[in-house]
Amino acid sequence: MDTNCIFCKINVGEIPGDFVYRDDDTFVIRDIVPKAPVHLLVIPTVHVERVAELASEEMSIIAAMFRAAKEAVRIEGIVERGYRLIVNQGEEGGQEVPHLHMHVLGGTHLRAMGLG
């Protein structure tokens, strides 16, 4: 745990989060500033900033994130409708929170919302 990290604090209950799903390796919360009707964040419990930091033997974290995303979209009922998975990396990638996470956007036609 990084004691300065907002996502680490949400994971341990130090600050509130709107949890959708949790397993041994990840948790999924609703984004506090949703950009679509469904806007979730899939977050590994281990504090890692970027994919580039992961060693080969740590790539199971990525699989765990996709597994959690699969469960979360099932819970949200958007499996068939479709959705978008986004991972922002670093300053030019638009990453604001330096703890690896994957956005799940859905619940509407994202192009109609101006989201690409």
Contacts with ligand AMP, residue ranges (CB under 6 A): 6, 17, 29, 31-33, 41, 88, 94-97
- Closest approach of Cβ 39 to ligand AMP, in Å? 7
Residue 71 tokens, joined: 């469960």
Residue 24 tokens, joined: 């041994």
Residue closer to ligand AMP, measured from CB, 7 or 64: 7
49 to 19, 31, 67, 75: CA distances (angstroms): 21, 18, 19, 27
> Is 39 among the residues known to form the active site?
no
Residue closer to ligand AMP, measured from CB, 71 or 98: 98
- Closest approach of Cβ 57 to ligand AMP, in Å? 25
d(CA 116, CA 111): 5
- Closest approach of Cβ 42 to ligand AMP, in Å? 11
Cβ atoms 12, 109 nearer than 8 A: no
Catalytic residues: 101
